[in-house]
Amino acid sequence: MEAIVLAGGSANDPLAQKFGVASKTLVPYRGRPLVEYTLEALLQAGLEVILVGPSTPLNPAPQRALPDHGSLLANLEAGIHAAKGHKVLVATGDMPFLRAEAVRWVLENAPQAGFVYTIIAKSTIEQRFPGMRRTYARIREGAFTGGNLVIIDRDLFFTALPLLRRALELRKKPLALAQMIGFGTLIKVILGRADIAGLEARVSQIIGVPARALITPYAEVGVDIDKEEDLAWLR
C-alpha cells in the first residue's frame, strides 16, 4: 500500500515562523525535522511514501515528492491522484513518536470501508503521555481524540470530494455546518450521548462513502505538534 504524507502548510504558521521553516512539519525536534519521524515509521512498515509539501532534502527520503498545493484538501487530492493502488494510508507529517509497529497495527486491523478514521481513547493518551493536552470528544464509549492516520479508498474519495470541499467552505459558519451534520446528531455529540455506530452511520450517509472508526491502542497515532506549547511540553 502507498502512504500519503501531508507535510504542507504556511510559512506564516506561528510555529513555522518561530523556527524559520516553510512548514510546521519541518520544525526541528531532537535535531530532526518532525516529518522525518513520520517518514521513517511508514517506510519501516513497508509502505511506499508520497510526500506532499515543501521541497527539501529529508532523511529518509520519500519515494515520491509533490509540491505543496496550498491547502490540506488540495494536497490530499494531489497525493491521491498520484497514488496507483485502490487504497491509501494518509498521515500527517508532525508525529514525532510514530512507530512502524503502530502503522502495521492500523493496516492489519482496519475494517473494510471506504473511509477508516483512527481514534484514541483519552486513557490511552494519558497513560503514555501524562499531562499532554489534547482535544477530546465524549461519546457513550468514552472520551476520544482523533488520530493522524486515515485509510481512504482512492475511487470513493473522489465521490466524496465535492462534499468535502463544501464542508471546508463552511468551516467558519457553524450553523451551516450543523445543518450538514444534522442538528439531532450535533446535540447528541454536545451532550455526550452519541455512540460510535451512530456516528459511523451518519458520516457514511453524509459523504456517500462507507465510514468506520478504528479505536487504536497506540497513543502516538494521536499525538502531533500543532502549537509551540506542544513542542515545549515534549521538551
Backbone angles phi, psi at 6, to 5 degrees: -85, 100
* Tens digit of pLDDT at every position of the chain (235 positions): 999 999 988 777 888 888 888 888 998 988 899 999 999 999 999 999 999 999 899 999 999 999 999 888 899 999 999 999 999 999 999 999 999 999 999 999 999 999 999 999 999 999 999 888 888 888 999 999 989 999 999 888 888 878 777 765 654 565 665 666 777 877 787 778 889 999 899 888 888 889 999 999 999 999 988 777 777 776 6
Identify the pLDDT of residue 175.
Answer: 60
CB-CB contact of 221 with 95 (8 Å): yes
What CA–CA distance (Å, rounded) separates 114 from 91?
16
Residue 81 CA, chain-centre distance (Å), reads 18
Is beta strand 211-215 parallel, antiparallel or unpaired with respect to 137-139? unpaired
Name the helix (H) or strand (E) containing 28. strand 28-29
List of residues 6+ apart from 102 with CB closer than 8 A? 41, 216, 218, 220, 221
Q: What is the model's pTM?
A: 0.90
Give me the residue label for grid cell 512498515.
45
Q: What single-letter amino acid sits at 163?
A: L
Identify the pLDDT of residue 101.
Answer: 98
Ordered structural domains, the chain, with CATH: 2-160+208-224 (3.90.550.10)
Identify the pLDDT of residue 75.
Answer: 93
CB-CB contact of 39 with 57 (8 Å): no
Identify the pLDDT of residue 159.
Answer: 84
Give me the residue label for grid cell 457553524.
174
For 199, half-sphere exposure in the C-beta direction (CA atoms, 13 angstrom radius) is 22
Give, in order, the Cα–Cα distances in Å from 50 to each of 21, 60, 104.
21, 12, 18
Identify the pLDDT of residue 173.
Answer: 60
What CA–CA distance (Å, rounded) separates 158 from 149?
19
Identify the pLDDT of residue 235.
Answer: 64
Identify the pLDDT of residue 182.
Answer: 78
